Every structure is written in C-alpha cells, then in structure tokens.
Amino acid sequence: MTKAAPKQAPIQVSLPSLLETTDYVNNSAKAHKLMKIIHSIDDCNANDFNYVISELLQKMGYSTQIIDGKNDKGVDIIGFVGNQREIAVQCKAWNPKRNTEQVSKECVQSFKGATMNEYQYALFFTTHYFTMPALEAVDDFLILIDRKKLFMLLAKYFPEAFANSYYQYSIAELNPCKACHNGKLLKLYSRKSSKIYYWCENCGNVDFNFQPKS
C-alpha cells in the first residue's frame, strides 16, 4: 500500500509579498549604475569592473577601498573587517569574445606571492577563465573567481540588477523609445482602429506614427 505524501506546512507569507520585486529603473542612481555595468559587463572598463566587485564585497559584509593596483602589488581592491585589512583583490575585465588568452598561472602566482604576507586572503576575479595550471595554485589563501562563478555571485547578491540585465538583453534588438530614451518599442495591433502601433515597455508611450528603420 502506497503511503500518502506528508502534508506540507501552510505558507506563512502571502503570495503578493512573495512576488514583490525592486524596480531598478526607479531606484537610486547607484543601483542604476550597477545595473548598467552588469548589463554590459563584457565591455566594461577596469574602473567599472572594480566598482562592481567592490559593491559585491560590501554585500558580503566587508568595507572596501579601491586602489586600482598601481602602487600596491597588483591589488585593485582591499577588503576590510573593521580597520583590519583582510582581503587583497585583483580584477581582470577580459571579454572572452575578444581576448584569446585565459588568466595564466604566472599572473595568479605573482599576485599570490605579493600579498600572502599582508592579507588573510587573496581573491582574484575575472570575466574570463583561468588556465588549468592557474586553478591548481588555489589553496586556503588564494581564491579564484572565474566568469561562471562571478555570474552566480552577481545573481545571488544582486538578483534584481541581474534579472533586469537579462530582461534588457532579451529585448535588446527592439527599437528604442524616443519619448523616454530608456525603453524599447513593441509592435502591437489595435483591434479598435485596425492599425499597427508601437508601445514602450518602459514609459507606456503609444506611437501610431513610428517608422522603424528597414
């Protein structure tokens, strides 16, 4: 005789509250900047990538200082616990569609050797990938975050920005709205007037006269 499945405990939170999201379009300038960088992370410059990683570390509970690696042994960001320097961070924004090299063992080892006596951890972020010899250098001190792991962390700590970025990617080929300059135009049909019109998914503007470029 098959046993009945155990009854699930009733959901304690209402469905509307479970479906609540944060609208990054109407959020702070800081949140909007973060969303824009994540959306175009393959084409972002070193400063923008450092900014995203700094914000990511702050979400994890660290205070941060961006120093851009120029005068401190390749360290781009320092993560602090209180006043104590805890994490040395190096960031490489390499587009895998254009860059034909992975981050090498030599690059990783150089960073590790320069920081191991001054920090608790060395954390290396890239939008690309590490070579196998580089990955073999990982230990209790050195942590490597490649493209796949980076995207998983962004989705975990910035779910609204990450979702919004993917949403924008999904409609990227649509025509831009001339009214708000932020939205995209969807081609729709009006049964009432038997005409084609264009509707902006961002501001709601309706345009019966829009002529898309051929």
Residue 86 in domain: yes
Tell me what the mean pLDDT of segment 26-40 comes to: 80
Query: Is the domain of 148 the same as that of 135?
Result: yes
Query: Is the domain of 145 the same as that of 197?
Result: no
Residue 123 in domain: yes
| Predicted local distance difference test score (pLDDT) of residue 98 | 87
Half-sphere exposure of 128 (CA within 13 A, CB side): 18
d(C-alpha 200, C-alpha 36), whole Å: 19
pLDDT over threshold 90, residue 167? no
Confidence of residue 160 (pLDDT cuts 50, 70, 90): confident
The model's pTM? 0.77
Question: Mean pLDDT in the chain?
Answer: 87
Q: Which domain holds residue 165?
A: 28-171
CA-nearest of 25, 33, 44 to 204 is: 25
What is the number of domains present in the chain?
2
Query: Is the domain of 99 the same as that of 53?
Result: yes
Confidence of residue 23 (pLDDT cuts 50, 70, 90): very low
DSSP strands (E only) in 130-194: 142-145, 175-176, 184-190
Q: Give the Cα-Cα-Cα angle 26, 40, 131 (nearest 5 degrees).
A: 140
Q: Give the pairing type, strands 121-126 and 142-145.
A: parallel
pLDDT over threshold 80, residue 24? no
Tell me what the mean pLDDT of segment 41-56 comes to: 94
Which 3 state secondary structure label does DSSP give 46? helix
In contact, 75 and 89? CB cutoff 8 Å: yes
Query: Is the domain of 182 the same as that of 156?
Result: no
Query: Is the domain of 120 the same as that of 186?
Result: no
Confidence of residue 99 (pLDDT cuts 50, 70, 90): confident
